[in-house]
Amino acid sequence: MTQTPQNPAPNPAAGNGSDRRGWPLWEVFVRARRGLAHQHVGSLHAPDAALALQNARDIYTRRSEGVSIWVVPSSAIVASSPQEKDSFFDPALDKAYRHPTFYDIPEGVEHL
């Protein structure tokens, strides 16, 4: 579940596309089965949420690939910028002590 949202282009507000040429864009997330998180699978165009869900079912779950679907207007997704990836994720880089492998444990200690 590390994929970025698909849509890179500036996107007009979804949901009120009446004066737009096409239908607004929605991102689709599918839970493959109980116990798993929803995963991004792609996008689609639909005039409203109900049809977005129905289209998502027809496009992305023709072979029972899911037990639950989320659709989200693409314009509602806020994403970190790949350009600032170093500075943005910097704080995590120098904190090796957050990982269990950082610690020296005497030989023979179990269940730790």
The residues binding another protein (CB under 8 A) are 3-9, 15-18, 21-23, 25, 41-45, 47-48, 51, 58-59, 62-63, 79, 81-83
Q: Which is nearer to another protein, 87 or 101 (CB)?
A: 87
Q: Are 56 and 28 in contact (CB under 8 A)?
A: yes
Q: How far is the CB of 74 from another protein (least distance, A)?
A: 9
Q: Are 43 and 11 in contact (CB under 8 A)?
A: no
Q: Which is nearer to another protein, 21 or 111 (CB)?
A: 21
Q: Which is nearer to another protein, 63 or 95 (CB)?
A: 63
Torsion angle, alpha carbons of 51, 54, 56, 57, to 10? 180
Amino acid in position 46 = A
Q: How far is the CB of 38 from another protein (least distance, A)?
A: 16
Q: Which is nearer to another protein, 62 or 95 (CB)?
A: 62
> Considering Cα of 10, then 14, then 20, then 22, what sign does the dihedral take?
positive
